[in-house]
Amino acid sequence: MQRPPVPEEFALKETSPKIAGAGITGGDKLSCTYDLVEQMNYLYVRVVKAKDLPGKDVTGGCDPYVEVKLGNYKGVTRHFEKKSNPEWNHVFAFSQDRLQASFLEVVVKDKDVVIDDFIGSIQFDLSEVPKRVPPDSPLAPQWYRLEDRRGDKIKHGEIMIAVWKGTQADEAFPDAWHSDAATVGREGVTNIRGKVYLAPKLWYVRVNVIECQDLLPSEKGRIPDVVVRVAIGSQALRTKIFKGLNPMWNEDLVFVTAEPFEEPLVIFVEDRVGSNVEVMGKCVISLPTIPRRFDNKAVLARWHNLEKHIMAEGEKKELKFASKIHLRLCLEGGYHVLDESTHYSSDLRPTSKQLWKSSIGLLELGIISSTGLSPMKARDGSDTVRMRYDRLRSIAGRIQTVVGDMATQGERFQSLLNWRDPRASGLFVIFCLVTAIVLYVTPFQVVVLLGGFYVLRHPRFRHKMPSLPLNFFRRLPARTDCML
C-alpha cells in the first residue's frame, strides 16, 4: 500500500542560510547565543546625552529632543522641559536590508507649541561606520560638535553619540527602538518583541493539620464546631468539622505553588455557628521558611500560636493568651508537578534538582525563519482576554441564575401536584375549583377588564409586601432547601 504524496508546503526543503557558526570547527571562536540562526544586520545609533545647548525660547531655555533620520525612517527620543544638558541613553536599530540612504542624520530640536525650533545636527557616512560583533567590546560614544543648516560648527552645543553596525546578537538589540516598528510607540515596542518565558518551578505544599489546643469560643460554655481553612493565594482547602475545644484531625491538605514563593501560607481556625463563621485564630507562615522534603523521611511537626484580635473601646487589641495549632509542613520536591497535559508532557523530572539524572549532552536548535504566521500578539492582548473572560463569566452567571430560578419554580409547582404538602395541595385544589367556577360564570371580556384595572391600579392601593398567592407559592418546598 503506497503512502499518499506529501503536500509541497509540508515537504522537506534544502536551504543554505548564512549561519554565524557554520564552517567553524576551531576552538578559538567563542560560542554565541545566535550561532545557529541566520544573521540579521542592523545599524545601531546610541544617543547618550548633550551639553551646552543654546536656548531657543523667549525665556532663554530649551526643551530638547533628538531625531535620528535614515532614509524614510525616523526615530525620536523623549523631550525634556527646560534642560540644556539632557541625558537620553536611547538606542535606535535600523535594519540594513531596508536601508535606502548613504548618510545618517542626527538632529537636535527644541520642542515648541507650533513649530519645533532647529538647534543643530550632525551627519555620518554609512561607509565609514565601524562594525562590531560580540564578544568585541562595546563601541565607546564620542562627543560631536553640532552644525547649523549650512554645515558650520555652532558655538555652543555638543552631543554624545555612538554609531556602529552589528547583528541581533548585540547587547543593545532587545531594548532598542526598531525601524520595523516605527509606527509603534516606545511603550508598545515590548508588546511586539519576542520574549523569553521561563516555566515556573512548581512545588507541592503539604499541610498536615494535626490538632488544636485551648481554643477560646466567643460564647462561654458553648462547645464550638471547629474547622481549619488553609489558603495560599486563591487556593483554599478545609478540614472536616470537629466539635470540641481541643479538636484533632490529622488531615493532609496539598497545594501547588511556584517559586519565588511570594504568597504566604495563611491558616484560619473557624467556628461554624449556623450560617455564620467566626475566626477563632489565624496563623501566617512564610513559604521560604518551610522545610523542603526530597525523600520519604518524615518531617517534624511544630506548634504555632494562633493570633486573635478583639474590639475593645473601638480599638483592635490582640489577646495575650494564644491558642495553638499543631502542624506538619513541608515542600515536596521529590515529585513532578504536572503543568501540562499528560499526553504532551515533555518534562517528568522531580522538582528538586538534586534528584535529576545527569545529562548525556546538549542539543541546540535554532529556528532559521518562518512564513505565513498569523499575528498572535496585540497591545493589551492579555487584558482583552481577561475582559472577554469576565464578560462571558458574568453572562454565564446570569443564565445560571435564571435557569435556577425557573427550576425552583418548577419544583414548587411539582410539589403541589404530588401532594408533598397535603395542606398546600388541598388549598391549591380548592383555589382551582373556585377559579374554574368564576371563569365559567363570568364572561371572558369582564375577566380581562377586571384584570387590567387590577394591574393598572393606583400606587396608593398597592403594597410593598407580596400578594397572598405569591407569598403562598414562594413558601412551597423546593430542592434548594435541601442544599442549605
Q: What does the pLDDT look like over 59-112, one tens digit per residue?
A: 778 889 999 999 888 889 998 888 889 999 999 999 888 777 889 999 999 988
Q: Give me the helix-helix angle, 422-441 and 381-417, nearest 10°.
A: 80
Residues (pLDDT < 70) of the chain are 1-3, 6, 9-10, 12, 15-38, 180-199, 309-321, 339-346, 362-369, 374-382, 384-386, 479-484
- The pLDDT value given to residue 483: 46
Query: How many helices (H) and strands (E) are present in the chain, helices listed first?
Result: 5, 21
- The pLDDT value given to residue 327: 95
Give pLDDT tens digits for 180-198: 666 555 555 556 555 555 5
Give pLDDT tens digits for 398-420: 887 888 788 888 888 888 888 88
Q: Which grid coordinates are listed for 231?
A: 489558603
- The pLDDT value given to residue 315: 62
What's the pTM value of the predicted model, to 2 decimals?
0.43
- The pLDDT value given to residue 402: 85
- The pLDDT value given to residue 334: 86
- The pLDDT value given to residue 50: 93
- The pLDDT value given to residue 484: 40
Q: What is the DSSP string of 392-434?
A: HHHHHHHHHHHHHHHHHHHHHHHHHHTTSSHHHHHHHHHHHHH
| Amino acid (1-letter code) at residue 363 | L
Q: What angle (nearest 5°) sits at the alpha carbon of residue 240, between those of residues 237 and 241?
A: 125
- The pLDDT value given to residue 96: 84
Q: Which grid coordinates are listed for 371?
A: 512564513
- Enumerate domains of the chain plus CATH numbers: 41-184 (2.60.40.150), 202-332 (2.60.40.150), 403-483 (no CATH)
Q: Going by C-beta distance under 8 Å and a sequence separation of 6 or more, which residues neighbour residue 56?
A: 62, 110, 112, 117, 119
- The pLDDT value given to residue 29: 45
- The pLDDT value given to residue 214: 87
Question: Considering only CA atoms, which of 141, 165, 184, 116 is closest in space to residue 50?
Answer: 141
Cβ–Cβ < 8 Å for 265, 205? yes
H-run or E-run covering 472: helix 468-474
Could you count the other beta carbons within 10 Å of the beta carbon of residue 350? 15
Cβ–Cβ < 8 Å for 159, 147? no
Q: Going by C-beta distance under 8 Å and a sequence separation of 6 or more, which residues neighbour residue 12?
A: none
H-run or E-run covering 69: strand 64-70
